[in-house]
Amino acid sequence: MLKRSITSISLILIVIASIFALPVWTFGVVASIFIGLGLYEFFRMEAKKIFPLSFAYVGVLSGILLPYITYFYRPTGGIWEAAFFILVLIALFIIQFTRKENKNAVNLIAVTLFAVFYIGWFFTFLVKIRFLADGHKLVAYLLLVTKAGDMGAYLVGSNFGKRKLIPRISPNKSVEGAIGGFIFSIACALISRYYLSWMSFSFVLISGVLIGIFAQLGDLAESLIKRDYEVKDSSVFLPGLGGMLDVMDSVLFTAPIFYICLTIAG
């Protein structure tokens, strides 16, 4: 618990500084570092199935570059992102052309592209949100509501959890914990309206509900990946918490969903 607390506080301070205290471009740098570490952990797990380093290098580098594309091409980011993914796919095919065998060619290309899309592109939506009007407050809101759900699921589940949610994916998650996390997310969203007064009550409620749902789906999605790779944590990079991917998991789903909500409402 001491390690978990120290690591959590350190991460929180880094995130707060990048959102509120440091120049706006540093948020993209921090996001890039998080993505790079998350992708490294993913390919490290995949390496147990004899994953070529050349594909991992392309995957990690591609993910690291995504926040910078968002930063430098904000007005026309969509077309540049599409071009970027096309180039990544072509690069993966070229790497496969240079290999001595065709075995698992489609799987290697698909897994690499999936990792860049799932970890790199999804997390980059945080950067997109940061560059909106009041983006620093919106990012803080998203992270608070998302992590409130994580905390609620842990607290309620560990104390009152009796019925398993999906034991084949995550043996420790319970129905009670899921309900608790959902309630915590909505409560945090409603409380947060006091510093986001321009948000309507209906928007706060709807976004809180969606974040509460997708945060847990994101957590389950990463648990599914870890079960497939037969590991408990994505790594031991963060003492007490596991790996960077273990910390990012819920945000990977909530960031794009919240961005879509803001786009529709805006």
pLDDT band at 2 (very low <50, low <70, confident <90, very high): low
Given a contact cutoff of 8 angstroms between Cβ atoms, the answer to whether 173 and 153 are in contact is yes
**Whether pLDDT at 76 is above 60:** no
Domain boundaries, the chain: 25-130, 134-266
Give me 262's structure tokens.
């803001």
Residue in 21, 265, 260, 29 with CA at minimum distance from that of residue 129 = 260
- At residue 16, does pLDDT exceed 80? yes
């986001």: which residue's tokens? Answer: 196
**What does the DSSP assignment read for 40-108?**
HHHHHHHGGG---HHHHHHHHHHHHHHHHHHHHTSTTHHHHHHHHHHHHHHHHHHHHHHSS--TTHHHH
pTM to 2 decimal places: 0.90
12-21 average pLDDT score: 85
Q: How many CA atoms lie within 13 A of 156 on its CB side?
A: 21
- Calculate mean pLDDT across residues 50-76: 84
Q: How far apart are CA 247 and CA 232, in angstroms?
A: 13
pLDDT tens per residue, range 151-164: 888 889 888 878 89
Q: How many CA atoms lie within 13 A of 222 on its CB side?
A: 28
Q: What is the percentage of the chain residues whose pLDDT exceeds 70?
A: 94
Task: Check: CB of residue 170 under 8 Å from CB of residue 220.
Answer: yes
Q: Is the pLDDT of residue 12 over 90?
A: no
Confidence band (pLDDT; 50, 70, 90) for 46? confident
Helices marked H in the chain — which ranges? Answer: 2-16, 25-46, 53-72, 77-98, 105-115, 122-130, 135-160, 175-192, 201-229, 244-265
Per-residue pLDDT of 198-243, as tens digits, reads 888 999 999 999 999 999 999 999 999 998 888 887 877 777 678 8
